[in-house]
Structure 1
Amino acid sequence: MLRYNLESSDMNKIFKLFLLLNLIISYSNKTISQNIVEEYEQRKNDSIRIGIGEKDFLPFIQSGYTLMLPTSKDIKGVLVFLEDSGYDKKNKNSKQIYDQASEKNFAVLSVSNEIPFDFYFSKKSARSSHIIINQVFKKYNLPNENIFFIGVGLSGHRVMKHIEFMKEDNYGFQLNIQGIVVCNAVLDWASEWYKFDREKRNQRNNLWEPTFATYMLETHLNGTPKNNPDGYYDFSAYSYFDEKNENIKFYTSYAVRAYIEPAIKYWLKKHLKTMYDNNSPDMVGLLAELELAGNEKTELIVLQPEDNESQKKNPDSTWDAINKNELIDWINNQSE
């Protein structure tokens, strides 16, 4: 009887070791199926003003890129993120889709320029990112096909402005963009200014972001939507208040998927915000205008409360909750 128990115990140990070995091998295979490289310049010893106070400055960040290459030499396409090397920690959002992209033979490129929380107020920002993208494509011989831009929160706005600026100027190197994915992004800056203005009047929530954002908008767009609405319309990919919405033309030929998480009850109870004080109207409006312009390749994904268990509700938490397997399948289906 004792001998039987010992043999049974040994068998259990062997079985557990076998399972552990399989897990290690599986993890190793997944790890070695990717090659991650990065190259960032030394941070410039300078800063930008973000407010009227003596200490209202933010230091510059590192410009550069992080690139995930699948081991397959037959790379099908490239997913491009315009992430901030500071706040976004170089590849905070893009790395969440590395495994899925690698399995479908997509490379993932995250690019940052030197300006923290960059709004892309000028073409200089887009040119800086474009130069890095061009260099990476040449250095690693990436295919200029099946290019998808993906943007979360502010980086979603960067994606839209980057595409607009690149289309306006006749650069020698142009990406063959197949689609755009935006997640909980600000697109209507006229509406956004009014949201921030309401926040500052009510003074019920943390006012750092409203104060910072309104200062940046009013400084770089020469006023407010009240006295310079055209400046805000031109800066927005879409605006509810803009009767022309001329920037829509830059995106009509692409497959566009938008992820929103209204979380209306959360914002009402936690922050006393209305159903208009989130980014959902921006992206629904964008898709509506695209369809009015004849784009039949749009799709809206709405995350319900049961889809996201996070206690925080913001663009990052929305992106965290997205089904990346389903997303990469959509990207793959849109590819040529």
Structure 2
Amino acid sequence: MRIAFMGTPEFAVPTLDALLAAGHEVAAVYSQPPRPAGRGKALRPSPVQARAEAAGIEVRTPLSLRGAEEQEAFAALSLDVAVVAAYGLILPQPILDGPRHGCLNVHGSILPRWRGAAPIQRAILAGDEKTGITIMGMERGLDTGPMYAVRETEIGGKTAGELTEELAAIGAALMTHVLDDLPAYTPVPQPEDGVTYAAKIEKHEARLDFSRSAAEVERQVRAFNPTPGAFFEYQSERIRVLTAEVQDLSGAPGRALDHGLSIACGEGSIAPSLVQRAGRGVMTAAELLRGFAIPAGVKLG
């Protein structure tokens, strides 16, 4: 099939690779424009742009698709379908209507649960037992389109990074499966019940809230690993927590309960196991405490 691929982050790269491996004709790749990154703030192309350029595919990085010129350029591709995976731009109706079979999206949840920007993190924060990938036909509403295929996976104790990598692989395989027999598919409308919205993650949410139960705090840790990184502060220094375990110890929320960095929560306690100080590498809690004492009884937050 003749396809335009539209995606930006690492999550989208496996789907692009799968399309190429399956022999589809990728006429063009659309991605967010390069952004300043690193200490020098040099412009860095997105992972999708870098992968497409390495494969010799034309890459387009418009700031918007609302202009007539961009829409005409898209229409001129004469596409069978557009495949979208975490692109990051709103697709106006002329773009949605352009390809012969419309635009198909790789969405990181079991729709209609967690429509929106951050479905993976929100599923972890909510304590969902499972999530998955939905291949969805795109329309003007926010992730409201009909479903072509769904595949589930258990969340368990996975971090957002681990779950994102797993779902990216599932999404790539599921999208190519759908494209193999696309004209035969009859998409199913989403159920009207069970709709939830996955709002964009704000940086302030990554501060650990020890007034919550230990189970909820541990989910914060997993949901914000690797970004933006769950943290607490002590002596004006921010300590990132990458992994933590739930414990049964109790005390005033936010208080260090011992010299091993057990921290009381609203119910139970947590014990960070992998942490990181600003400008330092990842270390165990024991390694942190050897050079940065956090005595029992101090308030953390």
What TM-score, normalized to structure 1?
0.30
In terms of fraction of residues, the more helix-rich structure is 1
Larger strand fraction of residues: 2
Q: TM-score normalized by structure 2? A: 0.32
